[in-house]
Structure 1
Amino acid sequence: MREDTRIYSMPRWPAVRWLVNPGPRAPRDIQLKLIGGLFGTLPVFFGGVINTIVVSGAIAAREQTPPFIAWFIFEIVLGAVRLLVLNVSRRAALAHRPTPTDLYFVLQLLWSSGVGYGACISLAIGDWVSATLACLSGSAMVGGIGIRNFAAPRLAGAMILTTLGPFMVGAALSGEPLLYVVYIQVPFYLAAMIAASYNLNKMLVATMLAERENDHRAKHDSLTGLSNRVGLAAAVDASLNGGGAGRGADLAVLFLDLDNFKAVNDTFGHAAGDKLLKIVADRLRNSLRATDVAARIGGDEFVVLAKGLGAEQATDLGQRLTNSISAPYDLGDEIGATIGVSVGVALVPEHGADAEALLALADEALYEAKAQRQVKLLHARVREGRSPRMALSPRGMSPSAH
């Protein structure tokens, strides 16, 4: 099944923003999802529109008076306009363009008001057949409003009020004392449906927040807060398949492996090693752009995904990251360390066009760089007649020859 990637715009008009606000507990990304849910699907839309057109048309054919004919015409025109706005919104949301969100919700309110108007005039003339049909349609619609729109309880309440409120006006105009019971029924029904909408909204937001947190945990490293292997693969796929910079070209994957990190763990303990990894993560964040992605995919292995970089720029970035990560570390308790880093680079499209291929090639380049570095270091020490050793001290750790 193809994933729906539609993104609907947040409302701009203050009144509409207030109507659809789900509450302070929902962050913006969840608000956008809730807004998308309020647009609904075409089958649900046609079900509601056809119902109101059929009911208004049947009553207009029975009464054949201007108020009912006007109601029927209003429902046809409103249904056509709503369908047009919904289609424009769906296409714009799929293309990630601004959507006419404010207009869509105003039309929603006009629709519920039209149903309330039809029930009002049907009660007012005292034709109990027409009134029964109109009121049954309005009552059924209220149930649908509560179920479909609880993502925005205020909007649900406003639509229920504009549907049921006119019932009381129609009852007063009918002259039938028994109908005054609606002055008790409608307020209680309105309060119950709004309360239910708020309760369902709280449950929905809480569920979405939990899913959001679980998704974050699944895609991020718990120690450093960087992306993990799952999050990195998703970021690579999004960069390769999505729009914007980096699509199909100028995408660099840098594979970084810390040199001598094991000596920090062995000498100062895992707490010091964990702190060093956190500092490395901070240095990566500070060295990258907002559009770049940094990930920790193993004990001391990191990957950087950088968009819009060619081979020369990727090499420059690798050198900057090397300089930053190789600077001395203060791990507290008068413990200092200095480590190195090896960097391997893979590019799109030169080295592949999928996540697995890029990571594999970057990993291969990394270990080739490490091997070359070790050979050069060994040759230099042999020429000097020294044997390689690692010197450790409370304030630092660096390769040295003794």
Structure 2
Amino acid sequence: MRLERLMEGGAPSAERSALARWVAWFSRPDDKRYAGLEDDLIRTTGGGVPVVVFGCVCLLLQVGLYAFVQPLASLPLALSGVLAAGGRMLGMRAARSGLAAAPMVVGTGLVWAAVVGLACALGILTGHIVLTTVCALTVTGFAFTSVYNNAGMPRLARVQVAIVAVPFLVASAFTGVPGMEVLFVLGPIWMIGVMHLTGRSHDAVATLVLTRNQNRFLASNDELTGIANRAGILDAIETLSRKAGGAGEALPFLLYLDLDGFKGVNDGFGHACGDHVLKVLAGRFVEDLGEAGCIGRVGGDEFVIVLPGGSHAGAAELAERLIARAREPVVLPGGSSVRVGVTIGGASVLPGRTDEALALADARLYDGKRRGGGVCLA
């Protein structure tokens, strides 16, 4: 999903484009290794609602102390804190939608940081030692919870920390309290450490998301060819057969493919070249199949294709195209070329009877092999 698509509505296109670039910058991971994970990484920020609730309570207690020094300013500050915290919690809940919620996640995060930063800067300017200590604790707590909650969006976390900490550190030089300037001196060192921790936290979360996605992919896809594995294609067949049985649609039709002469490639050129042939042929089959159905590798050189509501005539036509494509020469990494063939059996799939359909298609496939190859659908 492109972030530009999120900016729909009444705003002029130039403004939408600027907003999209702004949100995209905040959503971008630190490392190119994690490019494409933005949707999943934003979702990881959705679990920080309890932390924001706790932060809001702490901020209100801090504003309560501030009220003893500046009574008139404390009420609007407290109201701003409640509204900003509420918006931030809504943004975190919306984060579960991924990139679609990116503008809200970023916007509410920046507003919440701005209100906390303002409250802490005003607090330290009072020169009140207790209030200054509380504000310092708030800045520190906000920084580390931001690093934790927004590890999936490290640029947002860093900007939030800067919005809260920089005004506080600058204000420390104008309190009139002797020695307070040391915060202004030591603050940059503290911020460098927090920024580094943000990067480490982001790397840990992004690595976890990447590993989870890879495991999810391998659970239903063949590692060699990238198409569905046995579990993935069986699931697709079951899904299509249930849909057809429930809606009265035509039954799905499956094709069982087994390569001819593939053992000779492995024996003559080695398994690495055999794997190359499998990848090339899988790519050809996917290309010819297009959006017409699903394909999976169910064995060493065996493939299954399922066509939703496919007729015998349509399946037969596809099978002939696949046979022709399989017979085209495959150039091996060393420069040699080989040719293989494919025999295909087929069967309709009744709801809940996938195993029977596979067994029937497999039997027809080997009947075709006994006849010298080709297509056997009935």
| TM norm structure 2 | 0.77
Distance 1:268-1:65 versus aligned 2 partners, 3 A rule: same
Map 1:45-194 onto structure 2 (within 5 A). 45-56=52-63, 58-63=64-69, 65-87=71-93, 90=96, 93=97, 99-194=100-195
Distance 1:279-1:75 versus aligned 2 partners, 3 A rule: closer
Give the match's secondary structure for 1:175.
coil
Give the match's secondary structure for 2:227.
coil
Please tell me whether the aligned partners of residues 253 and 303 of structure 1 are also in contact (alpha carbons under 8 angstroms).
Answer: no
* Cα separation, 2, equivalents of 1:22 and 1:267: 46
Structure 2 residue corresponding to 1:364, chosen from 359, 364, 367: 359
2:346 aligned residue: 343
1:22 aligned residue: 29
Give the match's secondary structure for 2:37.
helix
Distance 1:15-1:177 versus aligned 2 partners, 3 A rule: farther
Map 1:152-301 onto structure 2 (within 5 A). 152-233=153-234, 235=236, 252=252, 254-258=254-258, 260-261=260-261, 277-290=278-291, 292-301=293-302
Aligned residues: 352
Please tell me whether the aligned partners of residues 30 and 154 of structure 2 are also in contact (alpha carbons under 8 angstroms).
Answer: no
Is 1:324 matched up with 2:317? no
Shift of 1:191: 0.8
* Cα separation, 1, equivalents of 2:316 and 2:49: 50
1:380 aligned residue: none
* Cα separation, 1, equivalents of 2:128 and 2:306: 71
Shift of 1:235: 4.8
2:44 aligned residue: 37
* Cα separation, 1, equivalents of 2:164 and 2:45: 18
Q: Quick one: which amino acid aligns to residue 69 of structure 1?
A: L
* Cα separation, 2, equivalents of 1:331 and 1:70: 74
Shift of 1:115: 1.6
Please tell me whether the aligned partners of residues 258 and 340 of structure 1 are also in contact (alpha carbons under 8 angstroms).
Answer: yes
Shift of 1:266: 9.5
Identity %: 19
* Cα separation, 2, equivalents of 1:301 and 1:218: 18
Shift of 1:264: 5.1
| TM norm structure 1 | 0.73
Map 1:366-385 onto structure 2 (within 5 A). 366-367=361-362, 369-370=364-365
Distance 1:63-1:36 versus aligned 2 partners, 3 A rule: same
* Cα separation, 1, equivalents of 2:105 and 2:22: 13
Query: Bigger shift: 326-335 or 261-270?
Result: 261-270
Shift of 1:274: 5.3
Shift of 1:225: 3.4
Q: Quick one: which amino acid aligns to residue 352 of structure 1?
A: P
Bigger CA radius of gyration:
1
Shift of 1:16: 2.8
Please tell me whether the aligned partners of residues 296 and 303 of structure 2 are also in contact (alpha carbons under 8 angstroms).
Answer: yes
1:385 aligned residue: none
1:352 aligned residue: 351
Please tell me whether the aligned partners of residues 345 and 363 of structure 2 are also in contact (alpha carbons under 8 angstroms).
Answer: no
Q: Quick one: which amino acid aligns to residue 85 of structure 2?
A: G
Please tell me whether the aligned partners of residues 283 and 325 of structure 1 are also in contact (alpha carbons under 8 angstroms).
Answer: no
Bigger share in helix? 2
Shift of 1:110: 1.6
Please tell me whether the aligned partners of residues 172 and 180 of structure 2 are also in contact (alpha carbons under 8 angstroms).
Answer: yes
Distance 1:171-1:329 versus aligned 2 partners, 3 A rule: closer
Distance 1:289-1:260 versus aligned 2 partners, 3 A rule: closer
Shift of 1:71: 0.9
* Cα separation, 2, equivalents of 1:147 and 1:141: 10
Please tell me whether the aligned partners of residues 229 and 298 of structure 2 are also in contact (alpha carbons under 8 angstroms).
Answer: yes
Q: Quick one: which amino acid aligns to residue 252 of structure 1?
A: P
Give the match's secondary structure for 1:13.
helix
Q: RMSD of the TM alignment (CA)?
A: 3.8
* Cα separation, 2, equivalents of 1:266 and 1:167: 69
